[in-house]
Amino acid sequence: MSTPPGALAPAPAGGARRGRVGADTRARIEAAALELFARKGVDGTSVRDIAEKVGVSEGALYRHFSSKDELARELFLTRYAALAREICAIEARGEAFGAKVAAVVELACRMFDAEPALFAYLLIHQHAHLAHVPQQAEANVVEAVARLIRGAGVPSGRVGLASALALGCVVQPAVFTLYGRIERPLIAQAGAIAAAVMAIVEQAGGR
């Protein structure tokens, strides 16, 4: 039945409201956890710390995540996969290799500038979670970068080293920026970083 002109629309069902509230609470838990994990580390952050920052009880937090470790793992895997998918989307473009490199570097720099806590978490805590990352490029940043570099014609035996060096060209400037050794924003360094990646690929035997 349609709503008469000027009348208030029916309120959403209670379940829908609860669903939206639950999704909002979960998002706030994730945002608070990211900030705390990046600043204090996972071990240095308690469930109480996260709950207090969000303004919910510890019980409310456990309704969304069974443990702090589950929260930390999910945060890493979902954000890491999202970044990998964006890199794969750039790699699939019908553009010159140099344009793809520039786009990936800009993506990383803008991500750092917009969400330094997220970038720091992915960077600092990756070793605790990489064993759980799928191998396919769409979920794995290292494999996504390797696919990009392989597409430049780098011999298979050199792809691993070239990928490691290319990632280092992005990660180390980000680390220096986190600690104030490079002035923000990181996007201002994107051109120099992309040029360094291109030099690595050329040295490795790519185009």
Dist CA 141 CA 123 (whole Å) = 11
Within a 13 Å sphere around the CA of 151, how many CA atoms are in the beta-carbon half? 19
Domain ranges for the chain, please list them.
14-65, 74-204
Per-residue pLDDT of the chain (207 residues; tens, 9 = 90+): 444 443 444 545 555 554 555 688 999 999 999 999 988 889 999 999 999 999 999 999 999 999 999 999 999 999 999 999 999 999 999 999 999 999 999 999 999 999 988 888 887 778 888 889 999 999 999 999 999 999 999 999 999 999 999 999 999 999 999 899 999 999 999 999 999 999 999 999 876
62: tokens are 């456990």
pTM for the full predicted model: 0.83
Dist CA 126 CA 80 (whole Å) = 9
Give the burial string for 78-101 (b: 16+ CB within 10 Å, else e): ebbbebbebbbebbeeeeebeebb
Q: What is the DSSP string of 97-145?
A: HHHHHHHHHHHHHHHHHH-HHHHHHHHHSGGGTGGGS-SSGGG-HHHHH
Q: What is the pLDDT of residue 14?
A: 52
In contact, 158 and 65? CB cutoff 8 Å: no
Q: Is 186 exposed, middle or buried (0-12, 13-18, 19+ CB in 10 A)?
A: buried
Taking CA 88 as the corner, what is the angle to CA 83 and CA 91, rounded to the nearest 5 degrees?
A: 130
CATH class of 14-65: mainly alpha
